[in-house]
Amino acid sequence: MAVRSFNVLPGFGLSLGYTLSYLGVIVLLPIAGLFWKLLDLSWSEFWAVATHERALAAYRLTFGASLIAALINAVFGTLVAWVLVRYEFAGKRFLDALVDFPFALPTAVAGLTLSELFGANGWLGRWLVPLGIEGSFSRLGVVIALTFIGLPFVVRTLQPVLQNFEREVEEVAATLGASRLRTFLSIIAPTVLPAVLTGFALAFARAIGEYGSVIFIAGNQPYHSEIAPLLIVIRLEEYDFAGAIAIAVVLLVFSFLLLGVLNLLERWVSAWQH
């Protein structure tokens, strides 16, 4: 007699129905509404709004700063995760909790704090500004804010992978005469690379849509330090709903394409490892 396995949740059919319904209402319905509203524009009108010189400048800053911030977090986030997993030291729990601080801190508060910190009279700005490094009201400020809010995505994605990594493999490599660099490149790096790519993708996608922390430190100068989400808000304040939707669709499509490419890359890396 076959023994039926006990499941706390309902069966597959009912659970799948709940899942699709929830995702449909929370995710798919708003996206469908966005594209439906876009039908109010003709293709020529959409193209004119989406490729306006001011919009292109906002895209360049948004995507460029997001890419730089995500790359910085991919490198230093990996280092932070490594230290938190591999070493024991005083204040480790506090440092580990501090990683989640950008999640808990309201983005507007983060922007105000960073703008004051890197301003001409701030704790760091008073030393950096005389050197020509202007962190507030500049494009550099956008990168700083996006790096701040994206760090937890890389660290929290990478930590479980490092925790489950068997250190005996490193010890065997050392026994066989492999150097630390050879061990890292041949054993550790291929194992953590998919997680690093995932954290990079999450940080990059989060940075593209960031608004609150950036507008207080960027300066918001059109064609120079104005991000695309701010341009959407400006269009809404001008009651140009079609223009706002056109720019939003560009960001949405690019984000989907980016995540798709990174997911394919992650799968390819995982398949290559096996």
Position 1 pLDDT exceeds 90 = no
The yes-or-no verdict on residue 234 having pLDDT over 60 is: yes
For the cut 90, the answer to whether the pLDDT of residue 70 exceeds it is yes
Query: For 25-44, what is each residue's pLDDT tens digit?
Result: 888 888 888 888 888 788 88
- Distance CA(99)–CA(122), nearest Å, equals 23
Helices (H) and strands (E) counted in the chain, each on its own, are 15, 0
**Residue 53 CB neighbours (<10 A):** 9
Residue 273 has pLDDT above 70, yes or no: no
Tens digits of residue pLDDT in 239-259: 888 889 889 999 888 888 887
The angle at the Cα of 231, spanning 225 to 236, to the nearest 5 degrees, equals 155
Tell me how far apart the alpha carbons of residues 35 and 41 are, in angstroms, rounded to a whole number: 10
Domain 43-273, what fold?
MetI-like fold (1.10.3720)
pLDDT score of 2 more than 60:
no
**Per residue in 79-111, pLDDT tens?**
999 999 888 888 889 999 899 888 888 888 888
Give the predicted TM-score (pTM) of the model: 0.84
Domain spans in the chain, listed from the N-terminal domain onward: 43-273
Angstrom CA distances, 146 to 46, 58, 163, 232, stand at: 28, 15, 27, 18
Calculate mean pLDDT across residues 186-215: 86
pLDDT tens profile 123-156: 888 888 888 888 888 899 999 999 999 999 999 9
The answer, yes or no, to whether residue 62 has pLDDT greater than 60, is yes
Higher pLDDT, 58 or 189: 58
- Residue 11 neighbours by CB distance under 10 Å: 9
